[in-house]
Amino acid sequence: MENEMNMMPRIGDPAPAFRAATTQGTINFPVDYSGRWIILFSHPADFTPVCTSEFMTFGKMQKEFEELNCQLVGLSVDGLSSHIAWLRTIRERMHFRDMDNIEVQFPLIDDVSMNVSRLYGMIQPGESETKAVRAVFFIDPKGIIRTIIYYPLALGRNFDEIKRVLIGLQTVDAFNVALPADWRPGDEVIDPNPGNMKGVEERWEKSQKADSGVKCYDWFFCTREIPCDEIHKKIGK
């Protein structure tokens, strides 16, 4: 059983399919969101403080994710009645930082059976055998898992990083580039290396010209700039 609970899909795998009841009705995942990015994330339990702060943040940012053509889908091992009561409490009673009256409109999966949690390796026995850890799966419009981030029960997620990863993945796809450490929109991106010696030499010579748009730190490490407005035109919707 422990090996089963630890299994998880990998980056590059098709997102495992499932059908589930949620606070927004029954969903067929991921086919219902074909053509959109998906962030599937789990939380340990309803009516817990760290999870409440996270759902308030997701709720506050849900329009930002929608504008990036991304569907949020949450999950815990609680049932629908608990989910609904908790989300109503968040909307009607919770005030945290600058957030209040937060209405969560994305689906929250009922996973009392733990079937989905086990399917995605969200149950980590070393952390808890009865609660899902804070997993985040980034799934592209073709239903392929592109990034996986795991957090323990006691550590809340960094939502700036979650949004940065989503924009970064969309930028990689749209411009066929790689992204350096700490990249944010507007920063220089990494130009893919040519596949042969001639291409390497031509790029190096090009980089020596002031108006080339390419900057080479060495033959294997060259960058170029993509303005923010150009990125925004190509990613998201």
- Is 70 known to be catalytic? no
Strand partners, 78: none
Residue of 51, 70, 216, 222 marked active site: 51
Contact 34, 67 (CB under 8 A): no
Give the C-alpha separation, 81 to 176, whole Å: 45
Give the torsion through C-alpha atoms of 73, 79, 80, 85, to 10 deg. Answer: -100
The stretches of the chain forming alpha helices (DSSP H) are 2-6, 49-67, 80-93, 115-119, 159-175, 197-207, 228-234
How many Å apart are CA 144 and CA 149, to the nearest integer?
15
Exposure string (b/e) for 170-207, b if CB count within 10 Å is 16 or more? bbbeebebebeeebebeebbebeeeeeeeebeebeeeb
Residue 134 in marked binding region: yes
Name the one residue in this structure whose structure tokens are 């108006």: 211
Active site residues: 51
Bind-site residues for substrate: 134
Q: Which residues are annotated as a binding site?
A: 134
